[in-house]
Structure 1
Amino acid sequence: MVVALLLSAHRKVFRNKYLYAGMGIAVVIISPNIIWQLQHGIPVLHHMKELSESQLVHVSRVSFLGDQLKFFVGGAFIVVAAVIGLIISPSFRSYRVIIGIYALTMLLFTYFRAKSYYSVGLYPVLLAFGSVYWERIFTHDWTRYLRLLWVALIVVPFGLLANVIFPVMKPVKIREKAGKFQALGLLRWEDGEDHTLPQDFADMLGWRELADMSWQTWQQVPDADKRYTLLICDNYGEAGALNYYNRGRNIPLANAMDADYVFWFREMDTIRYIVKIGKKPEGAYMKMIGRLQQTCVMKDTLSREYLWGAGAWLLSDLSPELPAALKRALHEEQNVYSRK
C-alpha cells in the first residue's frame, strides 16, 4: 500500500498529520500484542519460518492465482468490471491507486507462496467499485434488458456450487462427491496432497469428541490427586478444542508444548497423574511413567486425529523426576520460539 501510494498522486497523504495520528492510535490498540512479542523474543518470527518450511513450500504459485477465481465464481464479473472501470472511467480516476495496491500485494503473495485465502481481504473494495460500474452500464435504455442475463451469470454458478463453497454437507456426503471437490482443488491440503475432505473441514472434526474424552478420563483421577494432575495435548489445535468445549466443566485448562502454548504451560512441582490427549506417549518419558492406561479412542474416522491414532491416556505412578524433565523440555521449546 505504501509503495502504491508513493507512486501515485496520493503520495501527499504522507504529509497529512492525521495519517500519523491514526497510525499512533493503531499502535496503541495492538500494543499488548507487541509488548508480549517483545517480552518473549518475538516468537511470531519462528512461527512464520515454520509455516514457510512446512506448509507454504507446498503452495503452487499458479494454483494461488487460479484459486482467486474460485473465491468469487459469481463475483468475477464484478471484480473484472472494477479493474476496467478504474482504468477507463474518468469518475474513478482518483481511485486508480487501488489497482496498484491490489497488483503489488498479489505480486508479494505470489512470490512468497501465500495460501490462497490470504488475499480475500483485498476484494471488498473491488466488489464495491465493480458494482457501481455495472450499475452505470445498465442505466442506458438498451442495456437494462441485459440485467436478467447478468443476474443469471452470478446466481446460476452460485446455486450450482453452494453446497461445495459452504460447509452444508455432512462429511460422509462430501466423501461420496469427492470428485466434485477434487476438480475444484478443494481436497488439496497444506502438504500439497489430495485427501478425503477439505482441510478446513477435516481440521475441526472430532474436536468435541476430544473434549469429551478428556472429561471422561479426568473423572477417573482420584479427587485428592486432581490438583496434581496435568492435562496435556499434542498440539495447539487439540488444546484449543479442549479449552473451548470443556467450558463449564470442572477441569483445568489444557496444555501443549506447541506454538504459543509453550508460554502458557502450567508448570507443576508435583505431578501425580497426567491426562494425555493425542498419540500414545513414547520416548524418554516412558521410563518415568509407571502405568499407562488408554481410556478412550477416537470414533470419528474422518477426523485428522483418527488418522494420527489419537486417543486419551491416563498416566500414573509417575517418577518424581518427571516435573523437572517437563520443565527442561518446556524451556527448550520456549528458547526455540524466542530465538535465545
Structure 2
Amino acid sequence: MQHFTIATRESRLALWQANHVKALLEQQGHQVTLLGMTTLGDQILDRSLSKVGGKGLFVKELETALQDGKADLAVHSLKDVPMELPPGFELACVMEREDPRDAWVSPKYARLQDLPQGAVVGTSSLRRMALVRALRPDLKIEPLRGNLDTRLRKLDEGLYDGIVLAAAGLMRLGLAERIRTVFETTEMLPAAGQGALGIEICSGRDDVTQALSHLMDTKTWLVVSAERAVSRVMGGSCSMPLAAHAVFNGTVLEMRAAWGDPEGVQPLVHASDKATVTDTASAVRLGEEVARQLQARVQAAVRAAKTGD
C-alpha cells in the first residue's frame, strides 16, 4: 500500500475525473488524496486559448506540483494535454475511453440543421468552428470559454442558440439529458484523444507507473497514440483547426483526420488510412502517415486558393 497525491484542476468535471482515478487506486489498497489547483487556463476566460498560450495552460501548474513533489500524478482530459510534454514528464497511463464524439446542446433546437439562418452557436474550439462552418456556413459562431457548468449557464442565459460540447464530459457529470443529439464522426470529427483520461507523472516514478498499470487500457492507448501522432506531425495545438480520430476494426486501425479553416474560406481537407496495429510503434506510424497525407493536401489547398484555381 502506498500514499499518492493527485493534482487536479478544480472544475466539477476535473474533480470528477480525479475522484474516479482516486477510487480505482483505493480499490487496490492505496491511500489517495487530491490537490486541487487553479490553472492559468481556468483564469483567462476573455481570450481564446489559441491567443494566450494553448492547451499547456491547463497543465503547467499541475506539472509544477509534480516537479516540486507536492503531487505524484496529475489527471487530465487527454485532449487538453500538449502533444509534446516538457522534459522530465511522461504520460504514464491512458484509461478506457468514454464516447469521443461532440454533442449538440440547445434549449430550442434538436439539431444543428434545425437552426434558422444567422443563429448563434457557441464554441471557442477552432476545430469545432471549422466543422460547424462546413455544415452550416450561414450561422454565426461566437466564442465560449469557461468550464462545462459555465458554458451551460451562458447557454441557459440566452447568449447562444446552441453550443457544442464533448459528449464525454456531459455523461461523466450525469448531464446526458442536456444532449439534444450526438454528432456522428462523419459530421464532426473529434479532436485527438477526446473522451479519454490521461495520467501524467514525473519520469522515473516506477512506483506510480506500477500502480497505474491496472488502470491502463491498451486499446485506447494505441488509438490515441495514432491520433496524437497526427497532431504532433501537424504541429497540432488549440491554435490549429485539426481533427484526428481512429477506431479499431479487429486488429486494423482505421484513421481519419481533417484540417479546416475557422473562417470558412477554404474547404475542409481530409486524409485517411488504415493499418494493422499491434503496438505503439505501429500506431504512431499510421498517424504519421495520415499526417503526411493531410499536410500535402493542406498545402495543395492553400496553393489553389492563392492562384484562384
Q: Bin the TM-score by the shorter chain.
A: under 0.3
Bigger RCO of structures 1 and 2 (CA < 8 A, at least 6 apart): 2
TM-score for both structures, normalised by structure 1: 0.23
Which protein has the bigger helix share? 1
TM-score for both structures, normalised by structure 2: 0.25
- Pair member with larger Rg: 1
Which protein has the bigger strand share? 2
